[in-house]
Chain A
Amino acid sequence: MTASSTPRRLLELAGLAALLGFAGAAAASNERATTSGAAIYRTGILSSGQPLQAEREGGIHVLGGAAACINCHRRSGLGMKEGRRTIPPIAGSYLFHPRAGTEDDLDLPFVEGMKGDRDPYTETTLPRAIRTGIGADGNPLSYLMPRYALDDAEMSELVAYLKTLSPGAVPGVTDTVLHFATIITPDADPVKRQGMLEVLEKFFADKNRFTRAISPRLRSSHRLMYQVNRHWELHVWQLTGSPDTWQAQLHAKLAAQPVFAVLSGLGGRTWEPVHRFCEQESLPCLFPNLDLPVVAERDFDSLYLSQGVLLEARLMSGELQAMRAKTPLRRVVQVYRVGDVGAAAAEALEDSLAEEGVTIVKKGLSAGRNLATAFRDVAPDDVLVLWLRADDVARLGAPPAGVSQVLISGQMSGLEQAPLPAQWRAVTSMTYPFDLPDKRRVRVDFPLGWFRIRQIPVVAQQVQVDTWLVCGIVSDTLNRMVDTFVRDYLVERVEETLEHRAVTGYYPRLALAPGQRFASKGGYVVRFAGPSGAHVVADGDWIVP
């Protein structure tokens, strides 16, 4: 198992340590220790460059990334719950807090597995626990806890880092308000934008309807957890200009208005600068509405509902390989608009077929160029792949003579609402990275009823239902976190609990786990049932390509 941290972060920490050097040698040395400790914790690499070594019961040896603390105690240091097993928090404040007479005396945010009735760890007992597996109370720790071979300097580095993990004041969280942002890129579809914002605004208004103006600060008591009912405030971060300016805009917006997390959002051709911004700021960026998310599974802060058109490219690749098993596949012609997300999808499909001996032709049309130009030299036994939006699909005209196999992206063209002309329907299969309309009806009726009661016009159903779904996921997760507002912990809790959701909107199932960044992993291949209308029929079962 590799730790999900990136070396870049450690370099940033190192850079920070270098800057702080001006503040004095002691501070700098402390920062250096913390940086080395972070490397041990997150990647299992010692400051000597050697891998961290440890041993478990039964002589089982663990090494490097597999031995890193982050695997079980998570990036937040707040531990996790796995079935009946609870991995305790090891953030400094949870290790060193004085023994509490009652849980009421325990002035720490509630985390599963925290222990109030235990002697605090000391400079002696903590290294002993890490090296020999004997806890502060003298009892052995769980069999899951390895016994680490760390020298004194390495131990101090690790302990220095554990101390920095303690939850403290979090930007974007006050005693009375939780601040969220939603990010919209300038090239986002204006209709989807309006639809998404209406859902977000109504959800926040609902959430705040019962919030008192000022809540007193409450604490957990005897496991009856009183939660401060904070007002939820939404900040719409509308980006402008070209993508290379977005990161700077976002850093400025965050500095002007700190937020706890980024919720939903809407992108167009690229989301990369937003993804990078969230990683740099360690800011959770939860489930934006995108056709083309950023695939970087070693990154931490961004979670996505699915891989969008990249998932469709894999579904198409599977279809093409199945076709090829039956009949020779001479050539695949992919048509997309230059500058739209279809370009990246076409490239992904081409890459996936690189070793299959299939000729792939990519026809990228610049905006405004007539679609017919892409079909001029298409031969009858070519397979056509269309990465086109609804407006292009409506203007397709007649299919090229003799073509009998066409694949189209449902995500881009509007799913069952795609205005695919009748002549194309007989020869076209659509990748459909959602549950089928009949199967999702009950799950989608609930948000649609919610929209109706609140008089939200349904202008972009899938985006609006996804937005509502994401608000629910974040709201439920925060409720379970009580008042432990730690950004990494929010991401970790979503990873661990998403699978329990029964209400999953357009998706048959949503699930994540440590290191997983895409919640829905499959789709269908469908065909239109008739020459008109929005009835689609699946060619087979749910496919996870």
Chain B
Amino acid sequence: MGVRHSCLAAFAASCALALSAQASPAVTRSTVEYAVPAVTLVRDDGKRVSLPQEMDDGRPVVLNFVFTSCSSICPLMSQVFGEFRRKLGSDAGQVHLMSISTDPEQDTPTRLSEYARQFGAGADWQHYTGTLQASLTAQRAFDVYRGDKMSHAPVTLMRAAPGKPWRRIDGFVTPDELLDEYRQVLAAK
């Protein structure tokens, strides 16, 4: 794994979340290099796929981690993805939105595709499940694993192209902010 965002940044993020129960938590942004683990996942269409291959098709990737039984933050994160995609308009096909399940034993491809439909996902936004181990490996590789699925935090990751570093956003962003962030990442490419 490459340069991890500093412990200080992680500490600041956790403080921000802990102290701001009443207001919008501060959003922290960092640029990080992650080694994409060579795990096999199962896509919402039932096909077994390699995670690095899914990420390395040349398109920019926007990634998050959700589970379908999550009733508070995941629907919001998925809605932000859906709205982001809508705002991209005709550019939507140029980016690959990926959502990896943190509850793969419950989230069968059928459940995932039902969930995806609710949020208006299309061919350019895919959901992934797989074995528990594969999901954990992916979560750890992107430093989003927090002990169990109920302890997850809102994290969005994006990368302009294979080999480029990841932009990591800890905290809640609006669709407009996400779009802005995405354009910056593309411009930096």
Q: Do A and B come from one complex?
A: yes
Interface residue SS majority, chain A: loop
Interface string of A77-104 (1 = CB under 8 A from B): 0001111111100000000000000000
Known: A85-B72, A513-B150. A60 touches B175 (CB 8 A): yes
B25 A143 Cβ-Cβ under 8 A: yes
B80 A60 Cβ-Cβ under 8 A: yes
B152 A83 Cβ-Cβ under 8 A: yes
Known: A83-B150, A143-B24. A511 touches B103 (CB 8 A): yes
A541 interface residue per 8 A CB criterion: yes
B139 interface residue per 8 A CB criterion: no
B76 interface residue per 8 A CB criterion: yes
Chain B contacts for A49, CB-based, 8 A = none
Min Cβ gap B94→A in Å is 23
A530 interface residue per 8 A CB criterion: no
B18 A515 Cβ-Cβ under 8 A: no
Name the residue of chain B whose CB is nearest to the CB of A118. B22
B21 A86 Cβ-Cβ under 8 A: yes
Given A60-B80, A84-B17, 13 further pairs, Cβ under 8 A: A57-B172, A59-B83, A71-B75, A83-B153, A84-B18, A84-B153, A139-B23, A140-B22, A141-B23, A499-B149, A513-B67, A513-B70, A541-B131
A-B CB contact pairs (8 Å), 12 listed? A1-B75, A66-B75, A71-B72, A139-B22, A142-B22, A143-B25, A511-B105, A511-B148, A513-B69, A515-B71, A521-B105, A544-B131
A496 interface residue per 8 A CB criterion: yes
Name the residue of chain B whose CB is nearest to the CB of A58. B174
Chain B contacts for A541, CB-based, 8 A = 131
A59 B79 Cβ-Cβ under 8 A: no
B151 interface residue per 8 A CB criterion: yes
Q: How far is the CA of A513 from the CA of B108 in the complex (A)?
A: 15
Name the residue of chain A whose CB is nearest to the CB of B119. A66
Interface string of A391-413 (1 = CB under 8 A from B): 00000000000000000000000
A58 B80 Cβ-Cβ under 8 A: yes
A62 B106 Cβ-Cβ under 8 A: no
Interface centre among A57, A83, A139 (most CB of B within 10 A): A83
A143 B150 Cβ-Cβ under 8 A: no
B76 A85 Cβ-Cβ under 8 A: no
B146 interface residue per 8 A CB criterion: yes
Chain A contacts for B149, CB-based, 8 A = 499, 511, 513
Q: How far is the CA of A56 from the CA of B24 in the complex (A)?
A: 11
Chain B contacts for A60, CB-based, 8 A = 76, 79-80, 83, 174-175
Interface residue SS majority, chain B: loop
Q: How far is the CA of A349 from the CA of B118 in the complex (A)?
A: 29
Interface string of A57-72 (1 = CB under 8 A from B): 1111010001000011
Known: A58-B174, A59-B174, A142-B21. A72 touches B80 (CB 8 A): no
B73 interface residue per 8 A CB criterion: yes
Q: How far is the CA of A82 from the CA of B150 in the complex (A)?
A: 5
A509 interface residue per 8 A CB criterion: yes
Chain B contacts for A142, CB-based, 8 A = 21-24
B28 interface residue per 8 A CB criterion: no
Chain A contacts for B146, CB-based, 8 A = 83
Known: A82-B150, A521-B106. A135 touches B22 (CB 8 A): yes
A437 interface residue per 8 A CB criterion: no
Q: How far is the CA of A86 from the CA of B72 in the complex (A)?
A: 11
Interface size class of A (residues with CB under 8 A): 35 or more
From A1, A82, A141, A542, give the contact of B151 (CB < 8 A).
A82
**A residues whose Cβ falls under 8 Å from a Cβ of B:** 1, 56-60, 62, 66, 71-72, 80-87, 113, 135, 139-144, 496, 499-500, 509, 511, 513-516, 521-522, 541-542, 544
Min Cβ gap A143→B in Å is 4
Interface string of B35-75 (1 = CB under 8 A from A): 00000000000000000000000000000000101111101
Q: How far is the CA of A135 from the CA of B177 in the complex (A)?
A: 25
B31 interface residue per 8 A CB criterion: no
From B25, B71, B105, B175, give the contact of A59 (CB < 8 A).
B175
Chain B contacts for A81, CB-based, 8 A = 150
Interface string of B15-33 (1 = CB under 8 A from A): 0011001111100000000
B88 interface residue per 8 A CB criterion: no
Name the residue of chain B whose CB is nearest to the CB of A514. B71
A499 B71 Cβ-Cβ under 8 A: no
Q: How far is the CA of A516 from the CA of B69 in the complex (A)?
A: 7
Q: How far is the CA of A81 from the CA of B23 in the complex (A)?
A: 17
Min Cβ gap B65→A in Å is 12
B67 A62 Cβ-Cβ under 8 A: no
B14 interface residue per 8 A CB criterion: yes
B176 interface residue per 8 A CB criterion: yes
B150 A140 Cβ-Cβ under 8 A: no
B67 A144 Cβ-Cβ under 8 A: no
Interface string of B108-128 (1 = CB under 8 A from A): 100000000010000000000
Chain A contacts for B172, CB-based, 8 A = 57, 143-144
Q: How far is the CA of A143 from the CA of B172 in the complex (A)?
A: 8
Chain A contacts for B186, CB-based, 8 A = none
Name the residue of chain B whose CB is nearest to the CB of A508. B132
From B23, B75, B104, give the contact of A140 (CB < 8 A).
B23
A58 B17 Cβ-Cβ under 8 A: no
Chain A contacts for B83, CB-based, 8 A = 58-60
Name the residue of chain A whose CB is nearest to the CB of B24. A143
Q: How far is the CA of A58 from the CA of B27 in the complex (A)?
A: 14
Nearest 9 interchain pairs by C-beta: A58-B174, A513-B69, A83-B151, A71-B71, A143-B24, A521-B105, A72-B72, A499-B148, A544-B105
Name the residue of chain B whose CB is nearest to the CB of A56. B76
Name the residue of chain B whose CB is nearest to the CB of A541. B131
B150 A496 Cβ-Cβ under 8 A: yes
Name the residue of chain A whose CB is nearest to the CB of B82. A60
A144 B22 Cβ-Cβ under 8 A: no
